[in-house]
Chain A
Amino acid sequence: MTSNGHLLHARSRGLPASLAALAGTTGFAVWAAARLDGFLDPDRRVPVVALAPLLAAAVIGVSLRSPSEELDGTAVRPWWPRRLTQLAGLTALSAALLPLAVLGHPEVFGPPAMIRNTLGCTGVTAAAAVLLGARLSWLPAFGYVSAVYLGSAGAHSGAATVWAWPMQPGTQPGAWAAALGAFTVGGALYAVRGARPEGPRGGG
């Protein structure tokens, strides 16, 4: 594929819109963190650390669709490098941009927690794109993270560090393992299978 071909591929996947949406998400996160006076008390950043990666993951998940599934199936080249590049590139960009909202306090709710949650949410969303389709891929991560957000207050030990990974301080190894596991599984699943075909009648 020529560089022109890469560009066309990126455009067919709605990359410019996704980049704009990710920039908007970062702006929202920076604004929200400033409104919450997170530099005074890092615990006040928890809503931003939980919700901004969720929004970024929704943007990435929705962009994983293919507008021409049947045509894609006839390609001679393997698809997984392109899928993986797209997912990893957008995730890396989010993981680089979102921590700007929560600089400082890396041991609690700072950049490491933001990067971990971005990886974890994107992994769950990518897996959901394979199972449910790209359009509805945001749903499982939204449900899970919001439930854990309300339900896990004060749970910082034992198994809670794994299942409540979006709400753990940035240095918690169990939470990192869970988020990295979700990203590895979700990313591999998407790279191998691609998003579930939608078509005009697909996706509910």
Chain B
Amino acid sequence: MNAVTQTNVVTQTPLVTEARRGFAPWAGLTVLLTLGVLLAASADRWQGGWAETAAELHNAVLITVPAAAAAGCWQGGRERRRRTEELWATVPRPPLARFLVAALPTALWVAAGYAVAAGLALLATWPYALGDGPRPALVPTDACVSGAAVLAGHAVGRLVPARLTAPLLAMAGYVGLGVTAAAHEGAGRYLNPAFPVMESWVPVWWQPMAMAVWAGGLAGAAVLAYAARRRWTALLPLAAATAAGALLAQTGDGLWHTDPLTRRQVCDTSVAPAVCVNARYAGALPQITDALSGVTGRLKGVRNLPVRWEDRDGGPRDDEAELPSLTPLGWSFVRGRLTDTGEFAREAVGTLVLRGDCPDDRLGARFERADDAVENYLAPLPSRRYFDDLDSQGDARRRAALAGRRAARARLAAMGEQERRDWLSAYFAARAACDPSGVPAL
């Protein structure tokens, strides 16, 4: 039994020992916990949207890279702290091997911490996703970049073994990446591994690879320049990094393009106006149609309506109204559900009534009264009574306007079904033409 245990000890490489014990697993856990706090705090913003999840994970690189560099730096100062530098120098292994044995486990654990956090975030999005598909394209690169930061930080930690080196390196990382990320011009910002991306952006297929080569090449050059016996070999990764960096900086805006899916929508044409939802949230169509069913029910048989509520990238066409925006997630739309269906319906009525760009000077009291009556009929505002009370305590002009609006609402409500349909048809025709004289009297 004893002999077997001893054999195990002998055959276990130092790399495995380093990976299983000491600081490396804790570094991975720290990255996982930090990302866990970040992702849990911002869950409303990304959970349920594949593209939002991918963007949130990528933007988190802003904190994982400095944290990874600090972890590497801390590990790099270990031999000095433990006073084992001389002992290491007696080992019959080249300096590069000794460096990698100490540095690689931390890099792998940190990259694994990022990858696990990304996997958990994708799993958390899965039950709530309503269209689109997972987008893990940037995750391997971002994990690699974090690992590369560990290696570069390790070299810094060996060179500058002061107590404050690691926190200072982390702080410099935050400031450096943050300043570059906030820049709005200059080709250099495309070299930033934490380049902030919008959820509607997708990278060209080679961007993740070029970024991995850029960051990995720089870290590799730092490691070889510090630890290799032939230091000129550092020029090879440096050349690869330069080539990848030049490619990234030269391509610039061309690295990212708008997701074609954001220009597509799915529609329910069984109601009028038809209800369309962006293809990214195709699964939300039934609940949105349901939220608007009260409005579409009251509009049954009315002519001259917009063809549809649209939800594409870019504004509505002349014969369309805009669906109230579901994005950014976390406000009206959280984890695949509308937070307030009544409010959503009221906003949809607002875009229906106020569509087009009718100049303000063409909108007279006639339109104002008719708009108010239509909005009140289709989806009354809960705070309407409050505003009416305010007006009723105002001056004579406001009281008169309120009385006019109340009378108009009452007349629209008191109409017969057919009469109201005819009135609404004429109203929407006048609204589309921006013609106050076409608004039938109320």
Contact = CB atoms under 8 A, between A and B. Distances in A.
Interface of A: 21, 32, 47, 51, 54-55, 58-59, 62, 135-136, 138-139, 142-144, 146-155, 163-164, 200-201, 203-204
B41 interface: yes
Given A139-B30, A204-B22, A147 B37 contact: yes
A168 to B, nearest CB: 13
B30 A143 contact: yes
Interface string B60-82: 10110011001000110010011
A204 B73 CA distance: 12
Contact of B67 (A54, A143, A155, A163): A143
A143 B37 contact: yes
A176 B186 CA distance: 40
A204 B34 contact: no
A62 B167 contact: yes
B269 interface: no
Contacts of B41: 147-148, 151-152, 155, 163-164
A176 B98 CA distance: 48
A139 to B, nearest CB: 6
A21 B164 contact: yes
Contact of B167 (A58, A151, A154, A200): A58
Contacts, number: 85
A21 B35 CA distance: 29
A47 B174 CA distance: 10
A200 B81 CA distance: 6
B401 to A, nearest CB: 35
Which 4 A-B residue pairings sit nearest by Cβ, starting from the closest? A151-B41, A58-B167, A147-B37, A147-B38
B74 A204 contact: yes
Q: How large is the interface on B (under 10, 10 to 19, 20 to 34, 35 or more residues)?
A: 35 or more
**Residue of B41, B67, B74, B81 contacting most chain A CB atoms (<10 Å):** B41
A62 B42 contact: no
B37 A151 contact: yes
Contacts of A155: 41
**Residue of B42, B63, B167 contacting most chain A CB atoms (<10 Å):** B167
A143 B164 contact: no
Given A32-B175, A139-B70, A200-B82, 12 more contacts: A47-B175, A51-B171, A55-B168, A55-B171, A58-B168, A62-B164, A138-B170, A142-B167, A143-B34, A146-B34, A149-B63, A150-B42
Contact of B164 (A47, A59, A201): A59
A150 B174 contact: no
Contacts of A135: 81, 163
Interface in B32-91: 33-42, 59-60, 62-63, 66-67, 70, 74-75, 78, 81-83
A127 to B, nearest CB: 16
A196 to B, nearest CB: 14
**Residue of A21, A143, A149, A201 contacting most chain B CB atoms (<10 Å):** A143
Nearest to B70: A142
A165 B41 CA distance: 12
A90 to B, nearest CB: 14
A146 B63 contact: yes
Nearest to A204: B23
Interface string B253-275: 00000000000000000000000
A146 B34 CA distance: 8
A201 B37 contact: no
Nearest to A138: B167
Contacts of B174: 51, 146
Contacts of A149: 63
Contacts of A62: 163-164, 167
Contacts of A32: 175
